[in-house]
């Protein structure tokens, strides 16, 4: 099997490559990214391609499957740039898959695709995928899935799989995650349980997480199985304030969602961090996912618990862990994180 992975240098991409490298049925992997990394992995060859402008068809010809992972979260202050890469770029990949005659497309969607839903019970993949209206990330994820619906009608011979993971963490992605969500002023050395004395409790905030290695394995299973449709991916248990407090031995403090959103909004306007308050809107409204279908049809079971995953990320933040790709390398930040500050904290890509 030959697999082309679009957006292969990020958090999920490097984990997908890791899983495919150890799979006997996979003979070769072509990793595509705008910036070719120095990272070397078994069976992987690299090529430079931009989903918004490159001719992708030659890269896809002869492939048994394409994995679509490319997605920008930054620059969050340039919504046109995000739309062109995330929505139009994904659409160009779909068209190239059809033209190149690739028989399978596995797309990395997100829990963020779901419309607002319950926190006291779990929803399966049939829950409406309309996104949270106030979140640009959710709106774009929902739009790509609508275009995938149309693609499936136009190319019925292509097997389409949609992976919908929760928040995806791993130690080696810690610096990339910090750049995306914490920004240059986030003090990584404070990511120690003994420094965290309280955890804010916000009504509706009950996120799910999943380890990146487990997501990589789910993609491997999807590539090797004759499955179609959507699969939720998450570890147990959901991380509400009480569970995080238990893990970190910290007390919970109730905080008004209105005050929390106002604080995030002020910090965003002052360019103290790179994410807008609509990320909080999404976190407060997305439902709790059931992973029964992935377990039953893919045979997938996460090796890492939610606690393992959270602590792995915190270890990476403390130790400045990374991989030798532009997306995940600590060196991308520059000395004293000067390169991050020059981006305008969300105005340009890090």
Residue-range domain boundaries for the chain:
2-243+271-342
Confirm if 345 and 184 have CB atoms less than 8 A apart: yes
Q: Report how far residue 138's alpha carbon sits from residue 97's, in angstroms, rounded to the nearest whole number.
A: 24
If you ran DSSP here, which 8-state letter would residue 185 be given? T
- Whose tokens are 């003994």? That residue is 194
Q: What is the pLDDT along the chain (350 residues), one digit of tens a residue?
A: 999 999 999 999 999 999 999 999 999 999 999 999 999 999 999 999 999 999 999 999 999 999 999 999 999 999 999 999 999 999 999 999 999 999 999 999 999 999 999 999 999 999 999 999 999 999 999 999 999 999 999 999 999 999 999 999 999 999 999 999 999 999 888 888 888 999 999 999 999 999 999 999 999 999 999 999 999 999 999 999 999 999 999 999 999 999 999 999 999 999 999 999 999 999 999 999 999 999 999 999 999 999 999 999 999 999 999 999 999 999 999 988 998 888 889 888 77
- Whose tokens are 């697999």? That residue is 3
Q: Tell me the CATH class for 2-243+271-342.
A: alpha beta
Q: Which secondary structure element, helix H or strand E, spans residue 232, and what is its range?
A: strand 229-233
Sort residue 122 into left (φ over 0), alpha (ψ -120 to 50) or beta.
Answer: beta
Written as six digits, the tokens of 230 are 């959507």
pTM, to two decimals: 0.96
């Amino acid at each position: 099997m030959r697999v082309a992975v679009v957006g292969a240098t990020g958090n999920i991409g490097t984990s997908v490559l890791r899983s495919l490298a150890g799979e006997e049925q996979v003979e070769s992997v072509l990793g595509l990214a705008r910036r070719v990394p120095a990272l070397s992995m078994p069976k992987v060859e690299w090529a430079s391609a931009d989903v918004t402008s490159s001719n992708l068809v030659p890269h896809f010809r002869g492939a048994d499957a394409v994995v679509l992972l490319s997605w920008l979260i930054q620059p969050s202050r340039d919504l046109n740039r995000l739309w062109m890469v995330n929505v139009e770029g994904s659409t160009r990949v779909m068209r190239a898959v059809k033209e190149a005659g690739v028989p399978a497309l596995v797309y990395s969607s997100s829990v963020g695709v779901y419309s607002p839903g319950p926190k006291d019970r779990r929803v399966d993949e049939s829950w409406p995928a309309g996104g949270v209206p106030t979140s640009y990330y959710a709106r774009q994820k929902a739009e790509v899935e609508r275009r995938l619906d149309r693609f499936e009608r136009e190319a019925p011979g292509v097997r389409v799989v949609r992976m919908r993971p929760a928040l995806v963490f791993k130690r080696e992605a810690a610096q990339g995650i910090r750049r995306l969500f914490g920004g240059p002023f986030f003090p990584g050395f404070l990511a120690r349980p003994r420094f965290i004395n309280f955890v804010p409790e916000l009504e509706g905030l009950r996120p799910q997480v999943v380890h990146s290695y487990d997501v990589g394995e789910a993609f491997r299973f999807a590539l090797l199985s004759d499955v179609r449709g959507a699969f939720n991916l998450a570890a147990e248990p959901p991380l509400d304030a009480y569970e995080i407090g238990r893990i970190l031995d910290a007390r919970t403090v109730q905080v008004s969602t209105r005050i929390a959103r106002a604080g995030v909004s002020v910090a965003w306007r002052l360019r103290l961090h790179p994410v807008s308050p609509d990320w909080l809107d999404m976190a407060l409204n997305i439902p709790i996912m059931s992973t029964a279908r992935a377990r039953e049809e893919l045979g997938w079971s996460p090796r890492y618990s939610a606690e393992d995953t959270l602590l792995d990320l915190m270890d990476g933040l403390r130790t400045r862990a990374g991989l030798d790709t532009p997306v995940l390398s600590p060196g991308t930040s520059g000395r004293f994180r000067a390169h991050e500050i020059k981006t305008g904290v969300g105005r340009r890509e890090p």
